[in-house]
Amino acid sequence: MKPLRDSSLQTVPYALSELEHRYGENVHILSDPFLSTQLAKLCSITTTQPLIHELVTQIYTSLIRTAVNREFPQHLEVTRSRMSSNHPEGIFEHASIDPETRTITVNLARAGTLPSMVCYQTLNYLLNPEKVRQDHISIARQTNASHQVTGSAVSGHKIGGPIDDGIVLVPDPMGATGSTLVKTYELYRSFGRAKKWIALHCIVTPEYLKKVAQACPDLIIYAIRLDRGLSSERVLQTLPGTHWDQEKGLNDQDYIVPGGGGFGEIMNNAYV
């Protein structure tokens, strides 16, 4: 029994709603009122556990869906529908995400632990679970005497093998300085060459975008919000990225402003 070849079903196009900017084609800052509302609640000074974990879970369920829709390959499948016993045309032909897509999600402990687990579980239901892997990296920012970030230090990791021909996901809520992402990117160099690198963030800064653009040119970024709140009033009235060198989203201790405070701290109730 041959399926009907309806041309409208050969692919499922996905149109992303995103903010216009001048940071380059690999940067996607979502224009999504639903996610923005959730993120605002997450960043509120009055929001505490257990709501914090619930919001992070819902937000990353949406972010991984967006990334899959845009970045993962599709293929054509044919499924017998319940109508096939009565009609030869009852064949459900559809484009779907290719279940054999090899994917590695990276847990950057500690703020990235829950986001990575959400992505890992979602992908295990969507793809062939044998093609989905979660790696773990214990990494923390390094600071000087003035509490400014000087880099990131890896104290341990569990990386499950090569990344060749795979999609590597880095679900990390705060894209602040870029040091953690760059260190992670460099760590994986000895594990092969990924098909794609995708970072999933709640908030990014202009400083972060500049650093990773230089160090990780193939990185694709999805973020709900851009924070450049310490820029001048003149710069704030321009299209993001127009005066990239004058945009500022980090305070003297390299925390995001407005931002949401340290997500590693609030997610774990451990302020160290």
DSSP, collapsed to helix, strand or coil, labels residue 185 as: helix
**Residue 211 to residue 100: CA distance in whole angstroms:** 33
Structural contact between residues 18 and 28, judged by C-beta atoms closer than 8 angstroms: yes
pLDDT in tens, 75-93: 888 877 788 788 877 777 7
Helix axes 113-126, 51-71, angle to 10 degrees: 50
CATH 1.10.10.10 fits 15-268, yes or no: no
Domain residue ranges of the chain, discontinuous segments joined by +:
15-268
pLDDT mean over 218-239 = 97
Hunting for tokens 């970072």 — which residue is that? 199
Tell me the residue type at 194.
Answer: A
- DSSP secondary structure, 110-131, as one string: TTTHHHHHHHHHHHHHHS-GGG
12 falls in which pLDDT band (50, 70, 90)?
A: confident
pLDDT in tens, 158-213: 999 999 999 999 999 999 999 999 999 999 999 999 999 999 999 999 999 999 99
Structural contact between residues 244 and 22, judged by C-beta atoms closer than 8 angstroms: yes
The mean-pLDDT minimum among 120-124, 156-160, 244-248 falls in 156-160
Kindly report the pTM of this predicted structure: 0.91
The strand pairing partners of 225, in sequence order, are: 203
The strand pairing partners of 91, in sequence order, are: 80
Structure tokens at 264: 């590693």
